[in-house]
Structure 1
Amino acid sequence: MTATLTPYMARMARVLDHIDRRLDGDLDLESVSAVAAFSKFHFHRQFRATFGLSLHRYVQLARLRQASKRLADVGGASVTDIALDAGYETPDAFARAFRQRLGQSPSDFRKSPAWEPWLAAFSPLNSARSQIMPQTFTAADVVIREVAPTRVAIFEHRGDPETLDQTIQRFIAWRKSQGLSPANSTTFNIWHTERRPANPADYRMELCVGLPAGSDIAIAGEGVREGEIPGGRCAVLRVTGDTHNLEPAALFLYRDWLPDSGEEMRDFPVYCQRFFLEAPEQGTAAEVHLPLR
């Protein structure tokens, strides 16, 4: 199985690279399937099965992401030129698609990009690439660090993970209303269950935002409560690139690193801190924390 899967994935990787290099050109089914040397009659099913979204959707998202990066260059091309280069027949059609996906008009995004919704909107592209380029970890990647306690506001999600996006949107809206942007406040996820429990109703995780010391932010209603991420020793594993699914990193700490380390877990769940890279459009990084005694 491994012997046949590796060249298969290599062919799929060529496809993604081809798409990324030719976003301004023709990317129809026949030309793209030829890059992978697959029959066009089956390729669209193969693409969806491998990456979790259709070829058309992948190309559409990739072009929209490229357009958004061009918009972020305030001194760059006009909105109209960017819209046409992205394959839209009119600026209005581009504006509708852009607002539907990112929650901002192209002109508003150019003035003040909202990077959190941007990352959520294009996470399927990162997730697709992670299918053929899984990240591997070694013990050398893990550092033990003493972390300080952090006062946080907590949004809890319970139930089917397919509905998590609704909780995320409420979380983002609340922190924006309080002026707690990622630029001035930390972001954490605390996992109380595995990512895909046997019973989806058992899924539980918490979205947290750090509260500034001495702040008088009112924590009431809207499903938010105050709490604390306790300080202490933690094994920390940093993940860059696709941080949409951090379960492999958490499993590495639990299953591989911990038994060989001689350490013992503390009575607090695995959690992560998320943060933007130096240029927000480059995406995020995450540090997965395994609390230790």
Structure 2
Amino acid sequence: MDHDRFRRVLGYIDHHLDQPLPLEVLAAEAAYSSFHFHRRFAALTGMGVHRYVQLSRFKRAAWQAAFRPDVTVLAMALDAGYESAEAFSRAFSQRLGQSPGAFRGQPDWARWAGAWHDLDNVRRFHMAVSHVHTDVRIIAFPGMPIASLAHIGPPGHIGDTIRRFIAWRRAHGLPPSRAATWNLVYADPDETPADAFRMDIACSCAYVEPNEAGVVAAVIEAGRCAVLRHEGSDALLADSVRYLYGEWLSATGEVPRDAPLFFQRVAFFPDVPEHEAVTDIYLPLATRQPS
């Protein structure tokens, strides 16, 4: 019961990061006494509620700094609960070792990777994803021409590739509202040497002109696919993938096709609250033989 209550609190925090979040309001959301709420929150999550809110705000601000060049530092500061860009910049530097401007210019991805470890652990435990077999659809994927940029190398540096691709698609008028966003995943980052890891960042696009960004024309192959919708943080995306490869394949007897796993990014954090991000996972399947 308490886990359900506090899961609601985490979702409420996600939705209201740009608003005051007094203890009394969060306690009421959990239907808990305000005298005991903060201690129960800390006992369940391993961190105080103030620190959780602060980290959540900083994570959203850092994502905006990294991937949303149109969001000003002042706008990030106000959304994160600061009264000035200067105060926010000082706090940002303490957390990430760089000012927002320096981070935008050349992010320290190693520092970034460790900045949200505690926050993501709370989400893994309290906002864990769960699936049943009926969540998975089998479709005939029609094939999709794409503009694609390969990331080959340490997964922790993929942010640089994402930024290059965002800049290219902005320059060519291909926002997510007009051109669906795809990721082609060639390897498991936990099982692949860092230098050999590959994932392609892509969007739907019929024609790609020669360019200096390294974006090329490609196609996501047509064929049967199992599709599972993942809702929530990317920190939990691997759990949904494991469900497909583990429980679902074992239960159905389906066999993966010789083609990479791919994702469609339907709704993005930080544009939506983190627990409302949506990713459709496509597992290419072999043609089923008649029995």
Shorter-normalised TM range: 0.5 to 0.7
Taking structure 2 as the reference length, what is the TM-score of the superposition?
0.65
Query: Alpha carbons of 1:57 and 1:168: their partners in 2 closer, same or farther (altered >3 Å)?
Result: farther
Matched, 1:147 2:141: yes
Query: Alpha carbons of 1:36 and 1:270: their partners in 2 closer, same or farther (altered >3 Å)?
Result: same
Would you say the 8 A contact 1:126–1:241 is kept in 2? no
Deviation at 1:187, TM superposition (A): 0.8
Supply the distance in 2 between the matched residues of 1:198 and 1:240 (Cα, whole angstroms): 26
Supply the distance in 2 between the matched residues of 1:17 and 1:90 (Cα, whole angstroms): 27
Deviation at 1:207, TM superposition (A): 1.0
Matched ranges for 1:135-174 at <5 A: 135-174=129-168
Deviation at 1:123, TM superposition (A): 8.6
Supply the distance in 1 between the matched residues of 2:85 and 2:57 (Cα, whole angstroms): 14
Would you say the 8 A contact 1:271–1:288 is kept in 2? yes
1:229 corresponding residue in structure 2: 220
Would you say the 8 A contact 1:149–1:232 is kept in 2? yes
Deviation at 1:200, TM superposition (A): 2.2
Matched ranges for 1:251-262 at <5 A: 251-262=242-253
Query: Runs (4+) of structure 1 moved beyond 3 Å?
Result: 9-27, 35-38, 54-58, 61-67, 89-99, 122-128
2:123 corresponding residue in structure 1: 129
Deviation at 1:151, TM superposition (A): 0.8
Measured on the aligned residues, the alpha-carbon RMSD in Å equals 4.3
1:261-286 C-alpha deviation (Å, 9 max, x unpaired)? 23222110111111128x95354311
Matched, 1:284 2:289: no
Query: What stretches of structure 2 of length at least 5 have no aligned partner?
Result: 25-35, 62-73, 93-98, 105-114
Supply the distance in 1 between the matched residues of 2:199 and 2:42 (Cα, whole angstroms): 42
1:238 corresponding residue in structure 2: 229
Taking structure 1 as the reference length, what is the TM-score of the superposition?
0.64
Query: What stretches of structure 1 of length at least 5 have no aligned partner?
Result: 1-5, 48-53, 68-78, 104-121
Supply the distance in 1 between the matched residues of 2:195 and 2:136 (Cα, whole angstroms): 32
Percent identity between the aligned chains?
Answer: 32
Query: Alpha carbons of 1:58 and 1:177: their partners in 2 closer, same or farther (altered >3 Å)?
Result: farther
SS at match of 2:272: helix
1:186 corresponding residue in structure 2: 180
Supply the distance in 2 between the matched residues of 1:242 and 1:94 (Cα, whole angstroms): 24
Supply the distance in 2 between the matched residues of 1:144 and 1:14 (Cα, whole angstroms): 32
Supply the distance in 1 between the matched residues of 2:167 and 2:184 (Cα, whole angstroms): 19
Count of residues in correspondence between the two structures = 240
1:100 corresponding residue in structure 2: 100
Would you say the 8 A contact 1:123–1:244 is kept in 2? no
Query: Alpha carbons of 1:146 and 1:220: their partners in 2 closer, same or farther (altered >3 Å)?
Result: same
SS at match of 2:280: strand
Would you say the 8 A contact 2:186–2:199 is kept in 1? yes
1:248 corresponding residue in structure 2: 239
Deviation at 1:223, TM superposition (A): 2.5
Would you say the 8 A contact 1:14–1:36 is kept in 2? no
Query: Alpha carbons of 1:65 and 1:258: their partners in 2 closer, same or farther (altered >3 Å)?
Result: closer
